[in-house]
Structure 1
Amino acid sequence: MPSPKVGVGVFVLNKEGKFVLGKRKGSHGHGTWALPGGHLEAGESFEDCAAREVLEETNLKIKNIRFLTATNDVMVTENKHYVTIWVACEMVDNQAVAENLEPEKCEVWEWVTWEELKRWAKLEVVERTDPGYRALFLPLLNIVSRKDLISKDQFQLTEETALILFQMIETKGRKCAEH
């Protein structure tokens, strides 16, 4: 197996507390649902990577980017190993719509709730034949399945835009200037 790569996954939250999720295609994890994100480039900060990837993939501009946690994601069948950095952020324009700017990599973007994501993670283990089942990309499944990493109780309301942010209980997070 090759050396691990660093990826960044981004919870882009709207004013209703939903976040954007896309159906992957054309690479590892084809057919699974994942957050916007991608590879961290040399010398790039997590926040800059998140802003760049979200803009490239969805045309959404983001701000108030906060570190959540990291996961160790070994994809045995695909012979890949990633350390995924998870961040949460708000949209600069609450009226903006997620566009599919990389149709060769993503079928569609949809806004989903934390409850929906948790349900799909549970179905991954219990019942994949359920009509509401959606296969989650392994790194996303890893963060949703681990109770010690993040939960709905960790949502907080920001004063600046009244949008919901994920925050780790013990992590203050890092705030980045608007991109």
Structure 2
Amino acid sequence: MENGSAAAPVPRVGVAVFLLKGKSVLLGRRRSPGAGNSTFALPGGHLEFGESFEECAAREVEEETGLEVDRTEFLTVTNNVFKEEPMPSHYVTIFMRAILADDDERVPQNLEPNKCDGWDWYNWDNLPTPLFWPLEKMVISGFNPLPSLS
């Protein structure tokens, strides 16, 4: 920063996780003063320095829901620019797919109630609305996170 001017905004890296149980995906309703307030979104958060995508996905799911994941795999990446939010932002989002450890039947806990109203499982063919904009865009495009049976 020179002459008291603010630093230029920079893109951040987020990791979002399609946590699957059969044909259902875990979604929570966001509580955010910024982007996506009251929309349904996947668990996820910011990639930390030196962290792999897989490590970030597992850490974020456990921090937010108390659930442990077994396998994680890269699905896709999106480039999301939020120009009209109260605080404009730019996110490169890494989307991962994860399966519960040992096909765990535990109920997700809401470990960050200041950021989420709660978690629930939703059938991929019957998702709640409104969806968080990046997720909605993926659904409209026909993206399907469910593993193909081959």
TM-score interval, smaller chain: 0.7 to 0.9
Q: Determine the structure 2 residue equivalent to 1:124.
A: none
Distance 2:114 2:23 in 1: 28
The code of the aligned residue for 2:113 comes to P
The alignment partner of 2:15 has SS state of strand
The alignment partner of 1:156 has SS state of coil
Q: Determine the structure 2 residue equivalent to 1:53.
A: 60
- Which one has the bigger strand percentage? 2
TM-score w.r.t. the length of structure 1 is 0.72
The code of the aligned residue for 2:148 comes to Q
The code of the aligned residue for 2:39 comes to T
User: Contact 1:22 / 1:36 at 8 angstroms: preserved in 2?
Assistant: yes
The alignment partner of 2:74 has SS state of strand
Distance 1:37 1:7 in 2: 7
Q: How does 1:110-125 map to 2 (within 5 A)?
A: 110-117=120-127
TM-score w.r.t. the length of structure 2 is 0.85
Give the drift of 1:157.
5.3
Runs of 4+ in 1 over 3 A off after TM superposition: none
Cα deviation per residue 1:11-53 (whole Å; 9 max; x = unaligned)?
A: 1111x32111000003421111100000111111100000000
The alignment partner of 2:93 has SS state of strand
Distance 1:27 1:10 in 2: 22
Cα deviation per residue 1:56-114 (whole Å; 9 max; x = unaligned)?
A: 00000001101000011111112111011001010014212111000000001110111
The code of the aligned residue for 2:131 comes to L
User: Contact 1:73 / 1:142 at 8 angstroms: preserved in 2?
Assistant: no
CA RMSD of aligned residues (A): 1.9
Q: How does 1:168-179 map to 2 (within 5 A)?
A: none
The alignment partner of 2:137 has SS state of helix
Q: How does 1:83-122 map to 2 (within 5 A)?
A: 83-93=92-102, 94-117=104-127
Aligned residues with identical type, % of pairs: 47
Q: For structure 1, which runs of at least 5 residues remain unmatched after alignment?
A: 121-133, 159-179
The code of the aligned residue for 1:19 comes to V
